[in-house]
Amino acid sequence: MNVKGLFSIYILSTVALFFGISLYLWMQPPFDPTSNGTESLVVKGHSWAAGNVNITLTVWNFGTRCVSVKEVLVDDVVASNVTYGPAFSGTANTLRVGETGTITITQQFSSGIKYVFHMISTSGNSYPYVTTAP
């Protein structure tokens, strides 16, 4: 086979590969950063207010998509007085990828008691954190 024949095979292979990749990408759903990726939220730390009247949890979104916190549970009971820090945006309490924010739960906590906090996302994922009140 001569050089001209090899070049023709190379061009046809390249064109076929291009159309195959194009067809594959065309069949994929459009990229949407709110629905693709992995949702991951972790509590980096906490601080108690004097008299244990509230706890502030510092949370970090280390996933590849935004996390919207729907509710916070304290020992499997929905907390009624929750405040989200300025890093959370919108009415859906959304924390962007790589952002760190605060969640403050205001209620009376008893010293020496272990509490289990669950941040529940709008996707239904639960992110637990356990600590004992001082």
Tell me the C-alpha distance between 108 and 102, whole Å: 19
Cα–Cα distance measured from residue 8 to residue 6, given in angstroms and rounded to the nearest whole number: 5
Closest CA to 74 of 34, 22, 109: 109
- According to DSSP, residue 52 is labeled G
Sole residue written with tokens 């190379």: 10
**Residue 52 near residue 134 (C-beta atoms within 8 A):** yes
Q: Has domain 41-132 been given CATH number 3.30.1360?
A: no
The residues spanned by each domain of the chain are 1-30, 41-132
Task: State the DSSP H helix or E strand holding residue 10, giving kind and residue range, or none if neither.
Answer: helix 3-27
- pLDDT tens track, the chain, 134 positions: 677 777 778 888 888 888 777 767 666 655 555 556 788 999 999 999 999 999 999 999 999 889 999 999 999 999 999 999 999 988 889 999 999 999 999 999 999 999 999 999 999 999 999 999 99
